[in-house]
Amino acid sequence: MSNGKEPDYEVIVIGAGVAGIYQIKRLVDLGIEATVLEAGSDLGGTWYWNRYPGCRFDSESYTYGYSFSKELLEQWHWKERYSSQPENLRYLNFVTDLFDLRRHMQFDCKVEAAHFDESRDIWRLRASDGRVMTCRFLVGALGLLSAATLPRYEGMGRFRGRSFHTYHWPQEGIDLKGKKVAIIGTGATAIQIIPEIAPEAAELTIFQRRPNWAAPLNNRTISEEEMGEIRARYDEIFATCARTPGGFEHEPDRRGFWEVSREERLALWDRLYAEPGFGIWLANFREIFTDEDANAELSEYIAERIRQRVKDPAVAEKLIPKDHGFGVQRVPLETHYYEAYNRDNVHLVDIGETPIERVTETGLRTSERDHEFDVIIYATGFDALSGAFDRIDIRGVGGEALREKWRDSVSTYLGMMVHGFPNFFMPSGPQSGSASTNYPRGIEIGVNWCTALLEYLWEHGYPRAEPTREAEERWTAHVKKMYSTMLMRKAKSWFTGYNSNVEGHEQGKIRYLVYNGGTPKFVKTITAVAENGYEGLQLGLPPTEPDEALPEAGAA
């Protein structure tokens, strides 16, 4: 609600997830008049919305938590190595209350439009309930996996049972005991849910279009004593995260893939497969990301593991991806996922072979037959990275719409700013250092950079900052170039912007959404930009366009 003066706030932050919470903390510490607008009824972002059974970190909990406050690090006890959604939400609430940030947040406030008023250098926002607010600087902490996408089946509205996307899992919970349940999709979310609900449901039918590779999470609890050891090591832990490409504790094996014997490779993989977390992906040989033959050998190793764990060989084969190699997409981590398929009440339907034709009043119709269900769960993922931005009518200089600018492919400066959209910041935007890493590590880096830039603007009295067209083109070309050596460029995944449920994001149109240079390189680049007086940014008012050439005196 407008408080009678303009702008209402110096800074408005959209989104109260990991990024928005840290951003408001930094602004409050600086004494800036700022607020957070959040579509949900409470804070937490990812960990507020996704309440499905089995939802948890695949980052080590103690590398995921914020690193900025010793007080917080001292006080919080992570109970599990890979903490679950309820605990993660408790953590974010704990942080918010510890620093008394809740009073700077407004909930049930979905921003529908944000327009830049060039005459006054302010952003004017409109929320879905009609509220209008203005600010000088706008921070989009919208989340990269926060725009849930449903498939486009006919008849979806006519199903008489319950159906929902996993992002909108009923907050009050849902009892699946004795129910006939369908789950559509076998991505990271489904891989977490399936083993949790398989023992509960009477029948669980999984509709799979294309399998994903997955590897064991190997989770366990963290005792008081272990937590004490972790606390004592926090400096070292975060220093390691800062040094590794992915912002994790897992460091790549620096030996050459082809320089060691096959026995040595197998020994490494046996060890990593039994170890917790992303080791099998990130502590592996670096060639698995770039060398087809190295990747094929590792993929066959993982395939063999799947064959050992799934009793029915035909089902096992269906669960082994044939269209991409292991690790060229973010690898889902699982707990007894493959064993779920050994249960009599679990059925796998390959919708590559027998496509879903429509949703009926009682279930799903494939090209083969009708299936009856009480509950349909859509585990169909997200319009990743740019989707939440596209869902707001963001307009910059000259009324240019961001979603139009990004229609074919995203372009940014450092993944944090966009030419034509002055005073608009994305601490963990597409093409920033966050998307391919341990997010909170990237988020802290992004928030710190954006906050330092804001301080610089305030200190020097600059009313606005905007990247130049050239700087944006250079960064976008750099991001694109890095895809050329990576096997992931060929995968149908959110790294390449593929999502058949979003118009224009079909296969064959790569969207360069992810910075693949790794954390240390990203930090080096953005630090140098700041040290050089924010090179690439137009600070202050834009140069006035030269007057149109006047006809020479005397010209007819």
Ligand X SMILES: Cc1cc2nc3c(=O)[nH]c(=O)nc-3n(C[C@H](O)[C@H](O)[C@H](O)COP(=O)(O)OP(=O)(O)OC[C@H]3O[C@@H](n4cnc5c(N)ncnc54)[C@H](O)[C@@H]3O)c2cc1C
Q: Please, which residue, 215 or 303, has the CB nearer to ligand X?
A: 215
37 makes contact with ligand X (CB under 6 A): yes
142 makes contact with ligand X (CB under 6 A): yes
Reduced to 3 states (helix: H, G, I; strand: E, B; else coil), residue 346 is: strand
Q: Among residues 26, 197, 154, 165, which one has the least CA distance to residue 99?
A: 26
Region label for 305, one of left (φ > 0), alpha (ψ between -120 and 50) or beta (otherwise): alpha
Among 90, 110, 307, 489, the residue binding ligand X under the rule CB under 6 A is 110
430 makes contact with ligand X (CB under 6 A): no
User: For 149, how many CA atoms within 13 A lie in the half-sphere containing its CB?
Assistant: 25
Pairing of strands 424-425, 203-208: unpaired
Which pair of structure tokens corresponds to residue 107?
Answer: 């909930």
Among 392, 426, 447, 465, the residue binding ligand X under the rule CB under 6 A is 392
Among 62, 78, 439, 522, the residue binding ligand X under the rule CB under 6 A is 439
163 makes contact with ligand X (CB under 6 A): no
Determine contact, residues 125/135, Cβ cutoff 8 Å: yes
| Amino acid letter, 469 | R
246 makes contact with ligand X (CB under 6 A): no
Among 219, 412, 428, 432, the residue binding ligand X under the rule CB under 6 A is 428
What is the widest separation between alpha-carbon atoms in the chain?
93
134 makes contact with ligand X (CB under 6 A): no
Least Å from the CB of residue 441 to ligand X = 8
Q: What is the CA radius of gyration of the chain?
A: 24
Among 11, 12, 13, 14, the residue binding ligand X under the rule CB under 6 A is 14
Among 438, 448, 451, 516, the residue binding ligand X under the rule CB under 6 A is 438
Q: Among residues 260, 345, 248, which one has the least CA distance to residue 297?
A: 260
What letter would DSSP give residue 501?
T
Determine contact, residues 434/144, Cβ cutoff 8 Å: yes
For residues 9 and 521, what is the distance between their CA atoms, to the nearest angstrom? Answer: 34
Binding residues among 213-232 for ligand X as defined by CB under 6 A = none
Among 9, 57, 337, 378, the residue binding ligand X under the rule CB under 6 A is 57
Binding segment for ligand X among 35-43, 154-162, 365-373, 505-513 (CB under 6 A)?
Answer: 35-43
15 makes contact with ligand X (CB under 6 A): yes
111 makes contact with ligand X (CB under 6 A): yes
Q: Please, which residue, 52 or 257, has the CB nearer to ligand X?
A: 52
Q: Please, which residue, 349 or 402, has the CB nearer to ligand X?
A: 402
19 makes contact with ligand X (CB under 6 A): yes
Least Å from the CB of residue 425 to ligand X = 13
Strand partners, 424: 138
431 makes contact with ligand X (CB under 6 A): no
299 makes contact with ligand X (CB under 6 A): no
Which pair of structure tokens corresponds to residue 502?
Answer: 């979003």
The pattern of x and - marking residues 442 through 471 that bind ligand X according to CB under 6 A reads: -x----------------------------
Q: At CA 279, angle to CA 274 and CA 282, rounded to 5?
A: 155
141 makes contact with ligand X (CB under 6 A): yes
Give the DSSP per-residue string, 259-325. Answer: GS-HHHHHHHHHHHHHSSTTHHHHSSBGGGGT-HHHHHHHHHHHHHHHHHH-SSHHHHHHHS-SSS-
For ligand X, the binding residues (CB under 6 A) are 14-20, 37-40, 45-46, 48, 50, 55, 57-59, 64, 110-111, 141-143, 145-146, 189, 388, 392, 428, 438-439, 443
